[in-house]
Amino acid sequence: MRPLFHPALEDIKPEAILYALSDPERVAIYAKLAGASSGGTCSALADLGDRVIPKSSLSNHFKVLRESGLIMSERQGVEMRNQTRCTELDERFPGLIRAILTAYGQLPGQP
């Protein structure tokens, strides 16, 4: 498996963030990750309620989120731990992530 690429904070591009979060499935995944206390694994996030995302698609969603700078992934044994980079991101793009999640009505802690 190729090593996972994570952009440095200063290399994160707004267009990549917006693109990644222009897909409701990815937003749902990201929002779950932002809300979950446990480090979310891929398979734990595959179930969207109305549909189960095929795993190759899921893997691609995580790649898009990771390479845009939204999440950090690292292998831990047989599975992948994913966490948001929301603190650093907010430093780079103040208010952006919160405004987006609010727009989607999926701010962690909201009904």
* Residue 78 DSSP class: T
Give the residue carrying structure tokens 């691609």: 60
Q: If binding is defined by CB under 8 A, does position 9 make contact with a second copy?
A: no
Q: If binding is defined by CB under 7 A, does position 75 make contact with DNA?
A: yes
Q: If binding is defined by CB under 7 A, does position 13 make contact with DNA?
A: no
Q: Considering beta carbons, is residue 21 or 33 the nearer one to a second copy?
A: 21
The binder of 52, among DNA, a second copy, none, by C-beta within 5 to 8 A per type, is none
- Segment 47-76, which members bind a second copy (CB under 8 A)? none
- 24-29, long-range: CB < 8 A, 24+ apart: 24/104, 25/53, 25/61, 26/61, 26/64, 26/65, 27/100, 27/101, 27/104, 27/106, 28/106, 29/58, 29/61, 29/62, 29/65
- Segment 17-36, which members bind DNA (CB under 7 A)? 23
Determine the 3-state secondary structure of 85 from DSSP. coil
Out of 33, 42, 70, 97, the only residue in the binding site for DNA (CB under 7 A) is: 42
Site residues (vs DNA, CB under 7 A): 1-2, 4, 23, 41-44, 53-60, 62-63, 73, 75, 77-80
